[in-house]
Amino acid sequence: MRNMVIGLVVALFAISSGSASELGTTLTRISETGQFNIGYRVSEPPMSFEDSSGNVVGYSVDLCEAIAAAVKQKLDRPDVVVNYIGVTAENRFDKVQSGEIDILCGATTMTLSRSERVDFTYLTFATGGTLLSLKENSVANVTALKGKRVAVVDDTTTIEALRRVLSGLLIDAEIVPIASAQEGMQMLDAGDVDAFASDQVVLIGQVITRESGKEYSLSQELFSYEPFALASTYDDAEFQLLANRAISQLSRSGQIAAIYTKWFGNFSKNPPTILRALYEMNAIPE
């Protein structure tokens, strides 16, 4: 009888362990802690930022909140608490790798080299690097940076792309590495730099949410291709599938168009052609 009881306990433990392992690293961690941690860039409107009331909002945040809802449904845990953790360009991938955050929201470009460290969802946005300058001293394109100073957030694909372009065109311009988009705008407003280089969508966000009274000029030239995606723990197929299913559902239902209008409607009523194509590609059937 004693041997039967021990055997039953062992069998139940094996079943329990097997069920937990099927969830994958991220979902198991969320199930055990009751916490879902969203990492976000603090000042990158309209992708992710803190509004005037201190709430974490933005296009990417809305996508992450849809994924949070899918997590609660998958685990049958409506009590899971969603936390928001601010990250920087420098530490964001470290926090994903360490498990401190479960998903990274913001303006994050998916690259093959970054895919060696973290996993990425389906693409969520497509943009490119460009230049913002004060209207009174407009910088029309990269060529016009000759002899000028340009601020760029360090540890980003944008700074790497701009360096390559300037080098390839033999343009002598001074790149000024900075820590955040907010710092870039402050330097531009103060005249400490002639231009601020970043992803076009980030620059648009800075302009439409800024109340400095300054008039800006946005270059129409894109010097890089920046496909955005949400980053999560490397080699976690279960969570990756869950996140992609949520993104597909937003595309199939048309909710993604409403999210675009919510954050970009004042600037552009309809998504660009490349973004509409991306939404269609993401509308993968179940």
Of 175, 207, 224, the last residue of a domain is 224
State the pLDDT at residue 49. Answer: 94
- Are 160 and 232 found together in one domain? no
At residue 11, does pLDDT exceed 70?
A: no
Residue type, 24: G
Return the SS3 of 12: helix
- Are 274 and 166 found together in one domain? no
At residue 14, does pLDDT exceed 50?
A: no
Helices of type H across 79-199:
92-98, 157-168, 181-190
- Are 63 and 172 found together in one domain? no
Task: Report the distance separating Cα 170 and Cα 187, nearest Å.
Answer: 25
- Are 188 and 259 found together in one domain? no
CA atoms within 13 A on the CB side of 46: 19
- Are 9 and 141 found together in one domain? no
At residue 22, does pLDDT exceed 70?
A: no
- Are 214 and 260 found together in one domain? no
Contact status, residue 51 vs residue 3, Cβ threshold 8 Å: no
At residue 197, does pLDDT exceed 50?
A: yes
- Are 164 and 220 found together in one domain? yes
At residue 13, does pLDDT exceed 60?
A: no
Instruction: Provide mean pLDDT across the span 20-25.
Output: 67
Of 198, 224, 250, the last residue of a domain is 224
State the pLDDT at residue 23. Answer: 72
- Are 73 and 17 found together in one domain? yes
Per the prediction, the chain carries an average pLDDT of: 91
At residue 57, φ and ψ (nearest 5 deg) are -140, 175
- Chain segment 113-158, per-residue pLDDT in tens: 999 999 999 999 999 999 999 999 999 999 999 999 999 999 999 9
CATH number of the domain that residue 190 is part of: 3.40.190.10
Task: Report the distance separating Cα 141 and Cα 139, nearest Å.
Answer: 6
Instruction: Provide mean pLDDT across the span 207-231.
Output: 91
- Are 184 and 261 found together in one domain? no
Task: Report the distance separating Cα 92 and Cα 94, nearest Å.
Answer: 6
Of 199, 224, 249, the last residue of a domain is 224
Sheet-wide strand order for 129-134: 174-178, 149-153, 195-199, 129-134, 216-218
Task: Indicate the angle between helix axes 59-75 and 2-33, nearest 10 degrees.
Answer: 160
Domain with 71, as residue range(s), is: 2-126+227-282
- Are 169 and 252 found together in one domain? no
Lowest mean pLDDT across 47-61, 89-103, 207-221: 207-221
- Chain segment 24-82, per-residue pLDDT in tens: 899 999 999 999 999 999 988 999 999 989 999 999 999 999 999 999 999 999 999 99
Domains in the chain, number: 2
* 58 torsion bin: left (phi>0), alpha (psi -120 to 50), beta (else): left
Which pLDDT band, with edges at 50, 70 and 90, does 12 fall under?
Answer: very low
Which pLDDT band, with edges at 50, 70 and 90, does 209 fall under?
Answer: confident
- Are 61 and 113 found together in one domain? yes
Q: pTM for the whole thing?
A: 0.82
